[in-house]
Every structure is written in structure tokens, then in C-alpha cells.
């Protein structure tokens, strides 16, 4: 991952969680789905296996679990 700068969300989330834990910050990898796509005609959301995603949550004593998405190009 560091050499090729390529990978999947699971790779980036796992690497970030490991780095945070190495620094003493409690961290966990969370998995779920993005919002999918909205069809304006049917007024329905479609979520499929392609919308699966992994991100990191880090614990900060005054704020609790804060989510971070280390996957390049994911935006907010």
C-alpha cells in the first residue's frame, strides 16, 4: 500500500487503525455501506454490495468515537 499507493478501503482502514494503535490511540475498523444511489423517478435508494465500505473510528476521551475515512478519493 505504501509503495503502490493502491488498495481497497479495507487496506487503508486497517493500516490507519494499526498506526493509531501503535501511537496509543484506541481505534477500530468499522464496516457498513455508503448511501448508494437515489432514483428520482421511483423516490427510492438502491444500496448494493458495491456500496460496501470500511473506515476507522478513533477514541478521544472528551469526544468519544470519531470516524475517519482514510481511503483516497472518498471525500467526506
CA end-to-end span of the chain: 21
**Angle subtended at Cα 57 by Cα 22 and Cα 1, rounded to the nearest 5 degrees:** 60
9 among known catalytic residues: yes
69 among known catalytic residues: yes
Question: In this predicted model, what pLDDT tens digit does every residue of 11-43 receive, in sequence order?
Answer: 999 999 999 999 999 999 999 998 899 999 999
Q: Could you tell me what percent of the chain has a pLDDT over 70? A: 93
53 contacts 31 by C-beta, under 8 angstroms: yes
pLDDT at position 55? 96
- Compute the 3-state secondary structure of the chain and give helix, strand, coil in percent, each to the nearest 5: 20, 35, 40
Is a pLDDT exceeding 90 seen at residue 7? no
Of 9, 11, 43, 49, catalytic: 9
Of 39, 43, 49, 53, catalytic: 53
pLDDT at position 74? 60
- In this structure, what are the phi and psi dihedrals at residue 9, rounded to the nearest 5 degrees? -55, -35
Amino acid at each position: 500500500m505504501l509503495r503502490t499507493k493502491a488498495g481497497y478501503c479495507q487496506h487503508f482502514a486497517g493500516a490507519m487503525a494499526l498506526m493509531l494503535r501503535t501511537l496509543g490511540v484506541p481505534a477500530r475498523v468499522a464496516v457498513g455501506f455508503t448511501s448508494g444511489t437515489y432514483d428520482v423517478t421511483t423516490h427510492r435508494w438502491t444500496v448494493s454490495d458495491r456500496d460496501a465500505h470500511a473506515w476507522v473510528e478513533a477514541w478521544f476521551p472528551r469526544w468519544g468515537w470519531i470516524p475517519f475515512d482514510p481511503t483516497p478519493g472518498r471525500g467526506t
